Amino acid sequence: MANLRISLAVVVLLTVPYRPGYALWCNCTTAQCQKTGSQCETDGACMASTFFNNGQEQHIRVCITRDSLVPPGQPFYCLSAEGYLNTHCCYTDYCNSMDLKIPSVTPPPELRGGYGPGGTWGLVELVAAILGPLLLLCVLLLVSVLMYHYHQRAYNHRQRLEVEDPSCEHLYLAKDRSLQDLIYNLSTSGSGSGLPLFVQRTVARTIVLQEIIGKGRFGEVWRGRWRGGDVAVKIFSSREERSWFREAEIYQTIMLRHENILGFIAADNKDNGTWTQLWLVSDYHEYGSLFDYLNRYSVTTEGMIKLTLSAANGLAHLHMEILGTQGKPGIAHRDLKSKNILVKKNCTCAIADLGLAVRHDSATDTIDIAPNQRVGTKRYMAPEVLDETINMKHFESFKCADIYALGLVYWEIARRCNTGGGVHEEYQLPYYDLVPSDPAIDEMRKVVCDQNQRPNIPNWWQSYEALRVMGKIMRECWYANGAARLTALRIKKTLSQLSIDEDIKI
C-alpha cells in the first residue's frame, strides 16, 4: 500500500503544473458546498463541465484533489465522460467560473482532451505548458522534501473522499443510466479509457456478488449484478496487489477499448482497516472462456472463422501503436491462451487477462515491464521464451511470442471444426500428446526447442479450403525464429479474405 501511494504521489507531482503548496479556491455547485458559499478549497484543480438534465443544459463545478489527477497528462477527471461536454480543469482561483458554451461543431478527437474547452489551450494552460519543463526541474529538487509531506496529505484526503464524494457521484450516476450508457460511448466521446475513478469506485461498491465462476492463481472470479445487468468481478487476494494494480493500469490505457478486448468497467481497492479487497470489474460473458466453449461445443466453418478472425482483430488492436494525443501504445499480452480469451454472445472473441502485458514507449523505445515476476503459461510459451533467448529489450519480440501462442489457440479451434460432414476431433490442449499436464519448463523446452515439435496438422485439412488456410497460418505462427512469424495484422487480412471467399457475414 505504501508503495502504491508513493508511486501515485510521484505521478501526481510530475503531472500537475507545480504550485508551491498553497490552496486553491474553486466555484462549487454541489449541495454540500452551499454551506461554504458555493465554493470549495483544494490542492488540485478546479473542474467545470456541462451536462443535460431532461434537455436542460446544466453546469457542474467542483474541486478535484491533487491526488486524483491521474493518469499523467490526461487526468480522468478532466476528460468529458459520456453525457458530459466541455469538461475543463484549471489551476487558478475560481478559474472554473468561466462560461461553459457548448461547441456547435464537435472538434475532431485529436484536437480534444488535454486542457481547455474543446481542446483549445487557454492562456493559463499555455503558460503552464511553457513553464512546465522549467518547474519540473525545481520539482525534482524539492521532491524528497515534498514526498513525505504529500504522503501524509494524500492519505488524509483519501480518508475524507470517502465521505465527501456521494454528492458528485449522483451527477454521474443518475438513477436511469445503465452501465452501457455510461461506458460504451466513451471511446467515441474522446476519453477512450474508462470511467472517472470515483465513478468506478461507486460502481464497484454497489455490485452484488452472485456466484463464483472461476479461480486462478491471483484469486477468484465472480458473477455480479449491477443495476439489473451482469458483470464479472475478479477479486485479487491481498498478496496480489501488484497484479491488481498492473492489470487495472493496462486496462486503462488510453484508447484500448475494442470489441475484441474484454471491456473494463472499474477497479476498486477497499481498505477495511485490516485487509484490502482488490476488485477488477469487467463485462460478463456467459459462454465463459474459449477453453470452456471448445470443450462443450464443436464449431462450424463459419464459427471457426468468426472466432479466429475476431481473436486476430483483438490482438492486432492490442499490438498496434496509434500515434497522436489520443493514441495508444503498442501492447504485448504475454499470456495468450484459450483460457484467457472469452467468447461473446455473438460467438466472437474478447481477449482478457492483461495482467502480464507490457507496453511499448516508442519515443524512448523502452518497455514498461510489469513489476511482478509472474511469467506466462508454460504450455503456450514460445521457443525463445522457453530457452530464454528472447531479447527482452526489444518490444517486437514479445509480439512475436504472442503470435506463437495465437497459433496454438487456432489449432485448438480448428480441431473442433466440423467441416468435413460432422468430422471433428475431441477438444485437446496443444501438446497434449507430448507433455504431461502442468508441464515443467524443461519438459516443454525439450519438445518445442530441442525436438522442434509442433501440434499435428492432419493431412485431411488440405481437402477443405478453410482448414487448409488455417493450417498454413498456424505453421507460419510457429516458426522457431520469432521474426519470421506472421503479424496479427497479416493474419487478420488473410482471415478476412477467407471469410469473403467462404461467403461469411461477419
Ligand X SMILES: *[C@@H]1O[C@H](CO)[C@@H](O)[C@H](O)[C@H]1NC(C)=O
Distance between CA atoms of residues 258 and 315, nearest Å? 10
- Residue whose C-alpha is closest to residue 236's, from 203, 264, 214, 205: 214
Bridge partner list, 332: 358
Phi/psi at 302 (5° precision): -60, -45
Distance between CA atoms of residues 494 and 497, nearest Å? 5
155 binds ligand X (CB under 6 A): no
Site for ligand X in 85-144 (CB under 6 A): 94, 97
Mark residues 182-221: x for contact with ligand X by CB under 6 A, - for none: ----------------------------------------
- The CB-of-97 to ligand X minimum distance in angstroms stands at 3
Mark residues 36-75: x for contact with ligand X by CB under 6 A, - for none: ---x------------------------------------
8 A C-beta contact, residue 333 and residue 315 = yes
Q: Per-residue DSSP letters for 246-268?
A: HHHHHHTSTT---TTBPPEEEEE
Cβ nearer to ligand X, comparing 97 with 372: 97
Q: How far is CA 140 from CA 18, 75, 134, 136, 147, in A?
A: 11, 21, 10, 6, 11
- The CB-of-18 to ligand X minimum distance in angstroms stands at 25
Among this protein's residues, is 335 annotated catalytic? Answer: yes
Total number of residues that touch ligand X (CB under 6 A): 4
Cβ nearer to ligand X, comparing 39 with 325: 39
Who contacts 193 (Cβ-Cβ below 8 Å, separation ≥6)? 76, 186, 252, 253, 254, 255, 256, 257
- The CB-of-38 to ligand X minimum distance in angstroms stands at 6
Q: Calculate the CA 204 to chain-centre distance.
A: 16
Q: How far is CA 447 from CA 91, 95, 162, 169, 481, in A?
A: 61, 66, 54, 55, 16
Cβ nearer to ligand X, comparing 94 with 432: 94
Who contacts 312 (Cβ-Cβ below 8 Å, separation ≥6)? 406, 488, 491, 492, 495
Cβ nearer to ligand X, comparing 46 with 235: 46
- The CB-of-189 to ligand X minimum distance in angstroms stands at 25
Q: Tell me whether residue 234 is annotated as binding.
A: yes
Cβ nearer to ligand X, comparing 97 with 418: 97
Phi/psi at 288 (5° precision): 75, -150
Residue with the three cell numbers 502480464? 356
Extract the C-alpha cell encoding 45. 484543480
- Residue whose C-alpha is closest to residue 334's, from 294, 385, 288, 265: 385
Extract the C-alpha cell encoding 315. 490482438
Q: Which residue among 43, 268, 335, 402 is the active-site one?
A: 335
- The CB-of-95 to ligand X minimum distance in angstroms stands at 10
Site for ligand X in 372-391 (CB under 6 A): none
Cβ nearer to ligand X, comparing 60 with 235: 60
Who contacts 379 (Cβ-Cβ below 8 Å, separation ≥6)? 337, 408, 429, 430, 431, 435, 439, 444
**What one-letter code names the amino acid at 122?**
G
Cβ nearer to ligand X, comparing 40 with 469: 40
Mark residues 1-30: x for contact with ligand X by CB under 6 A, - for none: --------------------------x---
- The CB-of-36 to ligand X minimum distance in angstroms stands at 10
- Would you call 334 exposed, middle or buried from its count of C-beta atoms within 10 A (0-12, 13-18, 19+)? buried
- The CB-of-39 to ligand X minimum distance in angstroms stands at 5
Annotated binding site for ATP: 234
Active site residues: 335
Binding site for ligand X (CB under 6 A): 27, 39, 94, 97
Annotated binding site: 234
